[in-house]
Structure 1
């Protein structure tokens, strides 16, 4: 979803006119107008002056790239049965560069859209439903009622079954021809940013500047963002809990060591060791546990992660994934190393402070 979703989508949504004719007629009069069943304005869902907007976006230093798209609502004709479908007209090279389109084409070559006239890349679920394969011909009915035959040059799998039943792709020129429109007819401009966190602000800016509707990736995937935040929060909570429990284990070990080494501590203090020396000694023991255990855990975790990353994992919902996805970001290992040292230091500091206050006279007298 993150691969295939633009950071900012510019489009022209058909809406009723904000100001109705009767409002202009009665402007300035002390009355209210109540209008029901308002129809949308009679206009095409295209972006006006799309060429100039496209050029301006590509000059914007915040924009990584822009890909135009033309959406066509069609019917797939399977004998006497018709199936609803949506064909997206794209520029294959730009779509692949910005949205990894080629990774989701599970059969055929997406560049064939440029070389084969009247070609289409069908959603795999739609192809299975219509029992067609590569090099077969499918017939579609356009919004104007025309019947057009398109050659299947590829199969596309997004991982969402309901989308793959209706979604297909063709070249931008073919989509414009299906609609009977000129080569400037574009319904969507898909914008990829260098920093996607700027998407909400830039969506508002572009909507006002170009007089179009704009949808940012955060708004479009608000439910996904919420779910991701909750899952991340739970995983960090579990990890911190486990490390804290490990810290208490180290604390208990050092605490028991002090009780067992009371005689040694008393002798050390009797021969001239100060409380600070004793505290440093036990803190050093704690840190050695943290360093050795942390290093062992990091190496073991890295090795286990590398092993898991080699295991085959080919779910139908993730066609671009072939093995278990593992994130080897060094930041995670740095966090683990710092937390292990910090935890063991705190776990050793309090028993060490207790050991530094031992009175050697009381211990030796008891013996």
Structure 2
């Protein structure tokens, strides 16, 4: 049968039952449009969640974890070397939170060709003073330039310039949730109290909004120097080293390597966000 006759027959059948043809066409159009919309929504949701995690999470984090010593005193006594020792209620040993020899570690990482960038960080637990009320909070001391370069810090700063943290001493970018509770505006001075009981006045130069409301109610950012001043620590006091790699898949292997070399705890992004990756995989399958 010629192709011309096929089209003629199809046109005749469609014209003979025009209403049914229209209903079928509308149904197919609606179904395809709904499928495309749903697919776009799922892709957008994955991109949003991936951005929240990947933009703000280092591929490898170096830090000193607070935990009991792997070797207890009885394990060091040769008399009980062949015994099985059962110890209960083991408490963490007195360990320093800061990373020892941080300058040499940063220098070593800067020469590693697998590393895209390094951003030192420290966290100070503090209270935001609101009259007689104290609000719990965390102030993150960051290297402003590296934080913006590696973690898109400027994308989450609203109503302010993130570089003001570096250019203005005793400045702070507070979470949007904290600002709403304190009725703080840009340029205001807020009082914070450290866990040691020291009070400081910090100038608000902007607001931080991550998109996670509970996080924005407690978290704020300051420069490394300001945060070290709050804690009364020297300029070498660093509790975290955040590392971004050229290839994120290599993070678990490199983390184990750094743990052995630098004698610190190392956490890779795959381990830290295992549940999130499972959720992303499930949404992708759907």
TM over 0.5: yes
**Superposed, which structure 2 residues align to 1:198-347 within 5 Å?**
198-234=250-286
Aligned to 2:191: 139
Aligned to 2:130: 78
* Matches of 2:96 and 2:214, distance apart in 1: 27
Q: Give 3-state SS (helix, strand or coil) of 2:225's partner.
A: helix
How far does the alpha carbon of each residue in 1:50-73 deviate from its partner, in whole angstroms, 9 at most, with x for none? 111111111100000000001111
* Matches of 2:110 and 2:74, distance apart in 1: 41
Match of 2:107 among 50, 55, 59: 55
> Which one has the largest radius of gyration?
1
**Structure 2 unaligned spans of 5+:** 1-52
- 1:233 Cα deviation (Å)? 1.9
Structure with greater strand share of residues: 2
Aligned to 1:122: 174
Aligned to 1:171: 223
How far does the alpha carbon of each residue in 1:277-321 deviate from its partner, in whole angstroms, 9 at most, with x for none? xxxxxxxxxxxxxxxxxxxxxxxxxxxxxxxxxxxxxxxxxxxxx
* Matches of 1:196 and 1:67, distance apart in 2: 16
Aligned to 2:7: none
How far does the alpha carbon of each residue in 1:131-155 deviate from its partner, in whole angstroms, 9 at most, with x for none? 1111111111112111111111110
Contact 2:186 2:204 in 1 (8 A): yes
* Matches of 2:272 and 2:128, distance apart in 1: 28
Contact 2:74 2:80 in 1 (8 A): no
- 1:87 Cα deviation (Å)? 0.6
* Matches of 2:264 and 2:211, distance apart in 1: 30
**Superposed, which structure 2 residues align to 1:24-63 within 5 Å?**
24-25=76-77, 27-63=79-115
**Residue correspondences, number:** 234
* Matches of 2:192 and 2:77, distance apart in 1: 46
Q: Provide the TM-score with structure 2 as the length reference.
A: 0.79
Contact 2:102 2:238 in 1 (8 A): yes
Q: Provide the TM-score with structure 1 as the length reference.
A: 0.62
Structure number with higher relative contact order (C-alpha < 8 Å, ≥ 6 residues apart): 2
Aligned to 1:105: 157
Q: Give 3-state SS (helix, strand or coil) of 1:215's partner.
A: strand
Match of 1:3 among 52, 55, 67: 55
Q: Give 3-state SS (helix, strand or coil) of 1:219's partner.
A: helix
1:79 to 1:26, Cα distance in 2 relative to 1, 3 A? farther
* Matches of 1:31 and 1:67, distance apart in 2: 45
* Matches of 2:268 and 2:71, distance apart in 1: 27
Q: Give 3-state SS (helix, strand or coil) of 1:87's partner.
A: strand
1:27 to 1:13, Cα distance in 2 relative to 1, 3 A? farther
Q: Give 3-state SS (helix, strand or coil) of 1:108's partner.
A: coil
* Matches of 1:121 and 1:139, distance apart in 2: 13
- 1:28 Cα deviation (Å)? 4.0
CA RMSD of the aligned region, Å?
1.3
* Matches of 2:131 and 2:124, distance apart in 1: 21
**Structure 1 unaligned spans of 5+:** 235-367
